[in-house]
Structure 1
Amino acid sequence: MKKTLSLILIILTIGITRAESIITAQYPDKIIYEGKEFNLNSNPLEPYFDKNPENRPEMTSTALWRGYVGHFEIIGNELFLTDMKKPVSYTDDDGNYKRKWVSIYKMYFPRQGKVRIDWFTGILILPHGKMVEYVHMGYASTYSKYWLLEIENGIFNEARKYTNKEFVKFKKRQFEVFEKTEEYKKLYAELKENDEYNDDEFIKSFISDFVINYTTKFLTE
């Protein structure tokens, strides 16, 4: 968790100083759910690379700090990784600068077909529909609709569908319940240790904004 927190805090700090190389909007992972492909505001491979840092791909651009785009699919009631890709730049015969996506999947999982993501527990965020607001930072842009998928050790438990307004209300309810837990207290204390972010109202607002990233299941109807 410390690595994830540090990354978000760095992004927020650099954002204040307008450093474009860090606050660039990120290429999202992809997921197929109910036969349709969605972007993901979540990165289910990150727990794997946190435990296996020697395998982590190098950053390929400021728009892809994690170095890859993961392709996932809900098959039956399980979450699977089906591919990993990265952008490769090249110059065509006319001297034009181009970019293409190439698979790097077999570099990391050479003996496997689809990989069941049994290390991931959390809520996947699938934004879709019309973009409501573009924000040039991470996955901060907002959309008119959202799917939320609750995953426990790679098992798909439940899906919820929200409009933008319903999604905002859900996050508020989720935070109200989360705020009463021991997990919240631990997260709050960890953020409080950071000298730049020790303002109580800022920390509370920060956790509220990212509550879905820090809760592993639906806490409210």
Structure 2
Amino acid sequence: MDNFDNTIAVVGGTGPQGRGLALRFARAGHAVVIGSRSAERAGDTAAEIRHRVGASAEVRGLANPDAVAAAGIALLAVPWDGHRELVRDLAPHLAGKLVISCVNPLGFDRHGPYGLDVEEGSAAEQAQQLVPDAVVVGAFHHLSAVTLWEADGLLDHEDVLVCGDDRAAKERVAALAATITGRPGIDSGALRLARHLEPLTAVLIGVNRRYRTRSGLKLSGIPA
């Protein structure tokens, strides 16, 4: 996975998580394509990010299929509801690319958020099964959408946990994480561990509600 185009398509780039990650990547100098079901909405979000980053920002907005076709890296930042259908529809454009999944299959009831059972194990594993010719990596699940969008500096109080079955792809995603937190993402093992990372987001949401904060994860004992 060393020869793909470095342009990053953010599928779901008009949503809270997607636009926050797109903003961070653009600030770091990456070429970014905002993807949405509506090309007009994608264009509006791209214009807002260019306004915040500056005239040098290489950010544009396209409908999801066109956004993915224009990039070598596709980040899935979409709701779990409809995930299977979306990925299946985009599969011809995702083949041969590095696909980053930060999708969290969560449910909500009167007791709060909880992780949903996924037939394939996780959203990331579902995406890998739907697009076997892509290399899927799970990452960025636990970053606060509000903090990504509103904070000015690096999120140096957090770590990005990265899981996948391709070491080079994980290293590439870990390097992208450094543009957000100031240090590389942490290799957290095989893609199958996404089934444990994704529902952990429910714990953070519960903590945030209880303490009225924006909590994040940071691991101790990791060598610099």
Relative to the length of structure 1, the TM-score reads 0.29
Q: Which has the higher helix share?
A: 2
- Larger RCO (CA within 8 A; separation ≥ 6): 2
